[in-house]
Structure formats: C-alpha cells, structure tokens
Homo-oligomer: A and B are copies of this chain.
C-alpha cells in the first residue's frame, strides 16, 4: 500500500475534517439533534463519532489522546458491545451538546496536527494507515450525512420543505437508450489489488469463475422505471420476493422514496428542493426489493430484455475492470451536484447512484476482521444485507473504487441506490 508522506497526510486530514464542518453549515441548531428514523443518525453524532474514532486511534497507536476519550466513549462509539447509546436513541439525548461536540473536534484536530510531525519514522506507516482509515470512515459519514439530511427535510409538509443547497439546474438530455457491453467469462480476480486504501472486507484477493455476460451501459432511468410503476408493478405479487411483498403491503409503498404525486404530477424531492420528476435521470432511492421486482417485470417483456437480471457483485467488479476508467469521469460528491445526472450515450457504471447487486454481504475467502477496537465492525452484520457497488453522487471520490463494497438491508431506500442490468 502506498504510504502518504506526513505533509500529504496533514493536508488530507485538514481537508476531510473541514469538509465535515462545511457540510453542516446550512443546518439550523435544532436540526443537529433530530433523528427521524432509527437507521439515520443526527448530525451532532456524525460529527462527534468521527472525532472519537480519531481520538481512539491516537490512543491505539500510543500517541496522546484527548482527555475526553473515556468520557465520550458511551455516546460516541458506534457498535460498542458494552454500555452504549443505542443507535435509535441518538436523537434522545441532550448530552454531549452540539457545542460540546464542536469543542471536541477542535481539541482532537489540534492533537492530531501537533503530533503528526513528531511520529517516529518507524511508526509512521502504521500511524498513517490508521489515520487514513479514520478519514475514510469520516468520508463515509459525510455521505451518510447528505442522505440523512435529505430524509430529515423531507418530513415537513411539501410546501414548507427547505432545500439543503441551491445547485445549478441540471441539463437534461432526452435519455439515450442503453447499449450492452459483453464481458468475457472465465477466472477473474476479485478484491482490492491496488495500492490505494481498502477496507478489510475488500480482501482476501481471490479467484471467481464467471460465465460470460452483458452489462447495460448505464443505470435504469426514471422513465423506464415509471413504466413498471404505471404497469401495476407494485400491485403484482408474482413480481416480488415473498418478504418484499409483505413489506410493501405493510408499508403501502407505491413508488421510490421521495416521489410524490401532487395533482396528478410526479414530483421528486432533491437536496435542491422539490422538482418535477425528470425521466432521463437514473432512478434512485429504490430498495433491493424494488430493484429485484423491476428486473423480473422487465425480463418478462422478452426480446431485448429476456433474461435481464441484477448483477452479482463479482460481475459488477469484473465489468468495471473491463470497461476501464469509468471512475475518472463519474459524478461523485466533488461535482457539487448532489444528484444524479441524466443519462447520455456515455458509459456510466460508477457514480450517480449505487448499483444493487444480488450478492449477499459475506466475507471473501481468507477474510480477516480488524483486530482490537475495530474488530466489531463488519462480521456481525454479514446477514441479510445485499451488496451495492460503484458509489453515488454524494460519495467522496477518494473513498470508492472498483473493489469497494457497500451493503444495506434489502428494504433500505434512503441511500442513493439504483439499478444496473445484466443478461447472460
């Protein structure tokens, strides 16, 4: 793995930490504490939790941690198995206050900045690796923040919802039809073999045997998905997984998250406010169950669509390698758009929206969990979660690659999650 120099790391540390402060600027004081569903954390907690992880890393590598480390362990650690603040109670406590958390950030930031130059060279690789992990972790929470804030502000009545940020209106193409790329079969290497950052779950690198398949050049669009909705897709039990059907029956879900039908017209909630539903954009904020039902519906159309299905995560990764550098031109957080762009004739595999795969989140062969305080992170959640690939318009560019594995339960809709098609 490539090791950042101390100067590079200090720069990167400053940039990432500042980004968290910048992103919360549009919030009212009260919005920092509000938690409107159990899966989403309030902003104060994201700010505090990422700071506590940095603080904990200072301690882990023998550097000087802050004197608040133990104090804030209960509220700011995440999956700690002892006494902990339950995930769905993060909106129920008044301590630590938002001011406490902002102070804590300043304190830990100074500790890190001061100590970086003093780390002995022998320890720098380890320190650097840990610190990069903390920053990658913070970037993940930045993505969560955008999706959580979108969800929070949606809870108001339509007329009184406030946009998060005005962004330039997106140009809208007419939505070019997709083309298909053939990906050859055979043994394929899976896993993070680059010299950039990778999470434990991207290793061990291993072989998978894949049969040849074709992948669509872009994500399924709103317009395409609308046909499914208009064709009664949400009312046809035969299209749905059994658990998915029970779920839409009990939740009365009839369309993707954030779609609202007002006086016969579909509107769509975005981080830039309510907007008409634009058909050429990738469909977004669909659950795995919806993605799965959609492809079953589409496959029954026959002809071009006979046999279409969702990819496995290995197919996606293989396609990403074959197609080449789709990441460079992808729409990530740095575009500032905070929304997927309309489909064009270009190939778009990465960015815009995460692509659901049929793969369950399971360890790779020879997977090793992190040791020590990070050990609880992943293994215990490898159950009833499906893998997503490719990043979205609110993902930090430096936190996603061809081998990055995201994962959510099959009912999750508040992430920017969409659909890509394959066929054998």
Residues on A lying within 8 angstroms of B by beta carbon are: 28-34, 36, 44, 74-75, 81, 89, 91-98, 152-153, 155-157, 160-162, 187, 206-209, 211, 237-238, 240-245, 296, 358, 360, 362, 365-366, 376, 379-384, 410, 424
Known pairs A28-B97, A209-B209, A241-B382; list 11 more (Cβ under 8 Å).
A29-B29, A30-B44, A36-B92, A74-B157, A92-B155, A93-B155, A94-B152, A241-B381, A360-B362, A366-B424, A384-B410
Q: Are B94 and A91 in contact (CB under 8 A)?
A: no
How long is the Cα–Cα vector from A314 to B241 in the complex, in angstroms? 24
Decide: A383 and B241 in contact? CB cutoff 8 A. Answer: yes
Q: Which residues of chain B have C-beta atoms less than 8 A from A244's C-beta?
A: 383
Q: Could you tell me if B94 and A153 are in contact, using CB atoms closer than 8 angstroms?
A: yes
**Chain B residue with Cβ nearest A82:** B237
When distances are taken between beta carbons in the complex, the residues of chain B under 8 Å from A358 are 362
B residues in contact with A209, CB < 8 Å: 187, 206-209
- Report Cα–Cα, A243/B208, bound state, in Å: 28
**Chain copies in the assembly?**
4
Given contacts A238-B81, A424-B365, contact A31 B94 (CB under 8 A): yes
Shortest A149–chain B CB gap in Å is 10
Other-chain contact of A30, B30, B187, B245, B296 (Cβ < 8 Å): B30
How far apart are A371's CB and chain B's nearest CB, in angstroms? 12
| Contact indicator B366/A155 (Cβ below 8 Å) | no
CA distance A81 to B152 in the complex (A): 25
Q: For residue A362, which residue of chain B has the nearest CB?
A: B358
Asked if A94 and B187 sit within 8 Å, CB to CB, the answer is no
Candidate in A96, A156, A245 with the most chain B CB atoms within 10 angstroms: A156
Question: Would A383 and B410 count as touching, CB distance under 8 A?
Answer: yes
Asked, given contacts A81-B238, A94-B162, A155-B93, whether A34 binds B33 with beta carbons under 8 Å apart, the answer is: yes
Could you name 16 residue pairs across A and B whose Cβ atoms are closer than 8 Å? Answer: A30-B94, A30-B97, A33-B34, A34-B92, A94-B156, A95-B160, A95-B161, A95-B162, A187-B209, A206-B209, A242-B380, A244-B383, A296-B379, A358-B362, A360-B360, A365-B424
- Interface pair B152/A242, CB less than 8 Å apart: no
Query: Could you tell me if A32 and B34 are in contact, using CB atoms closer than 8 angstroms?
Result: no
Measured between alpha carbons, how far is A360 from B242 in the docked complex, in Å? 15
Is A383 a contact of B243 with CB atoms below 8 Å? yes
With beta carbons under 8 angstroms apart, the residue of B30, B96, B238, B240 that contacts A33 is: B30
Q: Which 9 A-B pairs have the closest CB atoms?
A: A29-B29, A30-B33, A95-B160, A36-B92, A209-B209, A360-B360, A95-B156, A241-B383, A207-B209
In the assembled complex, which residues on chain B have CB atoms less than 8 Å from the CB atom of A245? Answer: 380
Whole-angstrom distance between the alpha carbons of A89 and B156 in the complex? 10
Residues of B within 8 A of A208 (CB): 209
What residue of chain B has the Cβ atom nearest to residue A208's Cβ?
B209
List B contacts of A30 (CB < 8 A).
29-30, 32-33, 44, 94, 97-98
B residues near A380, Cβ cutoff 8 Å: 240-242, 245
CB distance from A139 to the nearest CB of B (A): 23
Residues of B close to A96: CB separation below 8 A = 160
A242 touching B383 in the complex, CB below 8 Å, given contacts A29-B30, A365-B424, A424-B366? yes
Chain B CB within 10 Å, residue with most, of A28, A30, A211, A382: A30
Give the most central of A92, A152, A211: most B CB within 10 Å: A92
C-alpha spacing A294/B382, complex, angstroms: 16
CA distance A133 to B260 in the complex (A): 40
